Amino acid sequence: MRTFVAPLLLLAMTDVGAADSPAPAPIAIAIHGGAGTLSRERIDAALEAEIRAALDAALDAGHGVLARGGPALDAVEAAVRVLEDSPHFNAGKGAVFTAEGRNELDAAIMEGHTRRAGSIAGVRALRNPVSAARAVMERSRHVMLVGEGAEAFAREQGLAFAEPDYFRTEQRWQQLLEARQREAEAKAPRASSYFGTVGAVALDRQGHVAAATSTGGMTNKRWGRVGDAPIIGAGTWADAQCAVSATGWGEFFIRLAVAHDICARVAYAGTPLAAAADDVVLRRVPDLGGDGGVIAIDARGNLALPFNTSGMYRGWIAVDGTRGTAIFRADE
């Protein structure tokens, strides 16, 4: 005889099973679009809305990967690609100009539990440098490729390229003209010349973390200058317990190995993530004369987003699902 289960009983049985099933593992993501001397006088309501929309789009791209059970590595790449495609940030489209009037792009990506890393620097035509950095990590024997060699490798991998006009924005061109004028008048560069980077850190359902960073570098830079963003341990780092993406005056972040220092404090001293990030960003960096900020995440999904400038473009979706975007210090 076939057993008949009434619909209401079946529903009750289903509810009991659901109650007994474990909750999904936590996921979280944080992004940044650069730190610097941001002022409300230069960012009107319309521009702020566009910037926040771009930050939200990057959060959605990265968190969507995590929500579908995808790896943190995919999530940080997806988020950074959105930021690279926006003209509002100094990475990819909208990158600043060198002294020669061209764009030179840097990027890095790192997977924490494997310590795999990839990096590119000084490329001029790659549409999404972060994807080139990942290709270096996954499809070469190397960690870092630069200049023409990096672009030759990227062409072999079938990555997307763009013409110089794609990267140009009038705002960035005017910043270069201003920097040239200040140089001609023997004035110090504006602090904003040193800033502008995008990045993401994420925790996936497997408990793995990853970090990615991309930048156009410094306005009016010369001689093939490279900042901290593509240097593993300086502007980008991930290990099994911690991931960091930095933004700021790169020379100081390199000298202090900022990203690695934060995670080393978590790993070796058991320092809570927020305390480690605060001490490095709010004490060590300014003590040496530098400015900037970081986004950081640990394997439990704790987030830290400290900065010592007037603002940092940033966004987050925490393990409890709460989300936000912010620009100025008072926004939180």
Inter-residue contact 103 to 124 (CB < 8 Å): yes
Which is the catalytic residue, given 197, 215, 219, 309? 197
Q: Measured in whole angstroms, how far is the alpha carbon of residue 324 from the centre of its chain?
A: 16
Parallel, antiparallel, or unpaired for β 236-238 and 242-248? antiparallel
Q: What value does the CA radius of gyration of the chain take, rounded to a whole number of Å?
A: 21
3-state DSSP assignment of residue 251: helix
- Whole-number Å distance between alpha carbons of 257 and 245: 12
In whole angstroms, give the CA distance from residue 200 to residue 317: 11
Distance CA(234)–CA(260), nearest Å, equals: 6
Report the alpha-carbon distance of residue 213 to residue 228 in Å, rounded: 9
- Kindly state the DSSP code that residue 46 receives in the 8-state scheme: H
Amino acid at position 94, single letter: G
Q: Which of 53, 30, 69 is nearest to 212 (CA)?
A: 30
Euclidean distance between CA atoms 203 and 97, whole angstroms: 34
Residue 197: active-site member: yes
- DSSP assignments along 156-167, one per residue: HTT--B--HHHH
Catalytic residue numbers? Answer: 197
